[in-house]
A and B are shown apart, each in its own frame.
Chain A
Amino acid sequence: MTVHGEELVINMGPQHPSTHGVLRLLLKTDGEVVGEALPQIGYLHRCFEKSAERVSWNGVVPYTDRMDYVAAISNEWSFVLAAEKLGNATVPERGEYCRVISAELQRIASHLVAFGTFGIDMGAFTPFLHAFRDREKILDILEMMSGARLLYHYIRIGGVMSDCDSKICEMIKLFIKDMRTRLPEYHQLLSYNRIFIERTANVGIITREQAINYNITGPNLRATGMEWDLRKCDPYSIYDRFEFKIAVGTCEHGVSGDSWNRYMVRLIEIEESLKILEQAVEQIPAGPISAAIKVFKPAPGEIYARTEGARGEIGFYVISDGDLKPFRVKAKSPSFCALSGFHEYSRNLMIADLVALLGSIDIVLGEVDR
């Protein structure tokens, strides 16, 4: 027998601890069960696309940083890739390696934030601070590389801003060694905690069909067991030189596409990124880091370029009309797509499960609203 009381409409956000920013969810609840959750976005809209039409090609890059501020370098790379394809710019070998190193470090940093905040969502506070302790080391390295700690403006059209010298490479090697010992600790602390598994396994399932229909990419798609990683499936830059596996949902607990598997994919990806880093630091050749481009002025044309960011496929549709400024920039962000189907896979969850679902999708509102 089911009893239905009166429906209570309740706002989750824009100021709410577990919406990871200024997302507003309109919940229609019946007791603890959420009948429907409608995301309302736009609270962090900063007119990125309009601003991009008014600045030079290189000037857009810092704006892209501010989209996904947790993984800024992935955005930079995607836009720069689009611009370089349009303008037929080539990147020196060492520059490509610097890009890979910075992007993989950024991926790890981003996944650490995802891991930590997901722990908080589940009520475990300690993993968060452990994750931030380790992220701090990455930020130190990135600070040495770019001079900034959050919004880097590191990747420029034609190369990178500054070199990844031997001292930084030594730091990265130390970090890899350190991080490898941390991962078992994380598993001990959170991943295989009985309560954590109870809370996340079989909760908030996104099926593969739903994921493809809503164009969910990145770890969220891989958690459904699908091997889809742009670094392998549509290789860009020099990713074809590195040996690594595509992390997919293990289904050790729960079913594929549930919160636990989404969480686990990120931790496996940290390991894989460490492998890439290790190889990149070993292989990095000598040479210039950036092509000498005085004025970047691509020929008229349009392009859609995409890279594998920490949250999924970051795409930029860029149109040039032969001017010093881009004519139109459209950013496709993975979090925006992941949230667009939220009403569908959040149906009939409990409030606590909704938090697990939202936390495991790992959205960044700066990217959703742009």
Chain B
Amino acid sequence: MGITVSKTVYNQLKTQFGDAIGEYIETASPFIEVKSESIREVARFCKELGFDSLMCLSAVDTKGMKISSSPQENKTQKPAPPKEEIQVVYHLNSTFTRDKIALKVCLDRTSPRLPSVSSIWGVANWHEREAYDMFGVIFDGHPALSRILCPEDWEGWPLRKDYVFPERYHDVEHKRKPSGAEFLDGEKKQ
């Protein structure tokens, strides 16, 4: 069911938006690549197509990925690590036709920015706040983009692959010593 639906939706999107829609790659779990500027329009169009609920909105940091999870266009090529970027993935679901599709937006790692879809699906509000909280993705037009799971004054973007765990937070030390460290110290002192 999934693949044929994605193909038809892809064709519809391609005719509607042209260049904003990237390549379509046929796999077991296909997705449609969308340019970041036009994601809101594409999302609205998808909702009109009947994809009335946003199942999941997730951000991904591809830094350090060994082999790209997206299938290679050329099968003979040696599997290679993907470009280092931040991806935002939208999983859509239609309660009428029971179809599912996925949209994917690739963003620059240094300043990830894209329009918010919280005006289209209410649930996106919190999902986007979570993506901001964990990856530092900025959603333009979001009503109240702030941290949601971490404290307001937390520093850094915890789910990025190059995130360094802070040693202190408000005078609370929480860098765990390697196990047995205190014994080693004791032995050295003696």
What is the interface of chain A, defined by CB distance below 8 A to chain B? 41-42, 45, 47, 49-50, 85, 210, 212-215, 226, 228, 233-234, 300-304, 306, 313, 315, 317, 319-323, 327-328, 330, 332, 336-337, 339-341, 344, 369-370
Contacts and interface: CB of A to CB of B under 8 A. Distances in A.
B11 interface: no
5 contacts: A301-B27, A317-B89, A319-B60, A332-B56, A332-B58
A329 to B, nearest CB: 9
Given A317-B56, A340-B125, 12 more contacts: A42-B149, A213-B52, A214-B122, A301-B27, A301-B69, A302-B29, A303-B29, A304-B100, A321-B66, A322-B79, A328-B58, A328-B61
Given A301-B29, A303-B29, A215 B151 contact: no
Contact of B66 (A210, A304, A323): A323
A43 B72 CA distance: 41
Contact of B95 (A45, A226, A341): A226
Given A304-B29, A304-B56, A228 B95 contact: yes
Chain A binding surface SS class: mixed
Contacts of A332: 55-56, 58
A214 B53 CA distance: 8
Interface of B: 27-29, 52-56, 58, 60-61, 65-71, 79, 89, 91, 95, 98, 100, 102, 121-123, 125-127, 134, 147-151, 158-159
A339 B125 CA distance: 11
Nearest to A44: B149
The listed residue with most A CB atoms (<10 A of its CB), out of B55, B127, B147, is: B55
Nearest to A301: B69
B69 A315 contact: no
B95 A212 contact: yes
Nearest to B133: A42
B53 A321 contact: no
A302 B67 CA distance: 12
* 3 closest residue pairs by CB, A with B: A340-B126, A330-B58, A332-B56
Contacts of B148: 41-42
B126 A336 contact: yes
B150 A45 contact: yes
A315 B91 contact: yes
Nearest to A42: B149
Given A234-B98, A303-B29, A304-B102, A213 B55 contact: no
Nearest to A302: B69
A328 B60 contact: yes
Contacts, number: 103
A337 B69 contact: no
Nearest to A209: B52
A337 B128 CA distance: 12
B55 A304 contact: yes
Nearest to A315: B56
A328 B86 CA distance: 12
B67 A215 contact: no
Contacts of B79: 300, 322
A210 B66 CA distance: 41
Contacts of A340: 122-123, 125-127
A344 B122 contact: yes
Contacts of A341: 122-123
Contacts of A330: 56, 58, 60
Max chain B Cβ within 10 angstroms of own Cβ: one of A304, A336, A341: A304
A301 B123 contact: no
B85 to A, nearest CB: 13
Contacts of A339: 126
Nearest to B163: A50
B90 to A, nearest CB: 10
